């Protein structure tokens, strides 16, 4: 019985940890400003595994100021560099690509882990 409860607590904590990690992107989508940013170049970083990873350098206007940032959350192919990217930006938080497939998958995994953790903790006769 104690093993089942411990497993439930571990599932619940892992799901809450994953949900907390996704909280930053959802804050940007809710409170950030959607901006069309121009890709002005690439920042190439040597990686041990893949050779070089290329990150887009973005430039956009935000509150009467020109902002230049490197989007190091997503790499791009140097042959197919987009001219513009739609991003969400907030000064104190940072930048986000918005609601992506990865975000959706991890949100679903987080909800499943939290719900199964609660079910295992509250159930009297599970197995």
Residue pair 8/120 in contact by the 8 Å Cβ criterion: yes
Which pLDDT tens digit goes with each residue over 96-116?
777 778 888 988 999 999 999
Structural domain boundaries, residue 4: 1-26+99-127
Residue pair 14/122 in contact by the 8 Å Cβ criterion: no
Would you tell me how many other CB atoms lie within 10 Å of the CB of residue 62?
Answer: 14
Would you tell me how many other CB atoms lie within 10 Å of the CB of residue 23?
Answer: 9
Residues 50 and 11 in one domain: no
| Count of the separate structural domains present in the chain | 2
Residues 10 and 57 in one domain: no
Residues 42 and 86 in one domain: yes
Please report the sign of the dihedral spanned by the C-alpha atoms of residue 112, residue 115, residue 117, residue 123: negative
Which pLDDT tens digit goes with each residue over 34-61?
888 888 888 777 777 777 878 888 888 8
Residues 88 and 108 in one domain: no
Residue pair 117/15 in contact by the 8 Å Cβ criterion: yes
Residues 39 and 86 in one domain: yes
């Amino acid at each position: 019985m104690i093993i089942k409860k411990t497993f439930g607590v571990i599932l619940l904590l892992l799901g809450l940890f994953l949900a907390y990690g996704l909280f930053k992107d959802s804050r940007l989508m809710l409170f950030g400003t959607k901006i069309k940013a121009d890709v002005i170049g690439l920042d190439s970083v040597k990686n041990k595994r893949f050779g070089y990873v290329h990150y887009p350098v973005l430039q956009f206007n935000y509150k009467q100021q020109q902002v230049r940032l490197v989007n190091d959350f997503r790499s791009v192919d140097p042959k197919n560099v987009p001219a513009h990217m739609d991003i969400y930006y907030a000064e104190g938080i940072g930048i986000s690509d918005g609601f992506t497939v990865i975000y959706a998958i991890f949100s679903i995994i987080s909800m499943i882990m939290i719900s199964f953790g609660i079910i295992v903790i509250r159930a009297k006769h599970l197995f």
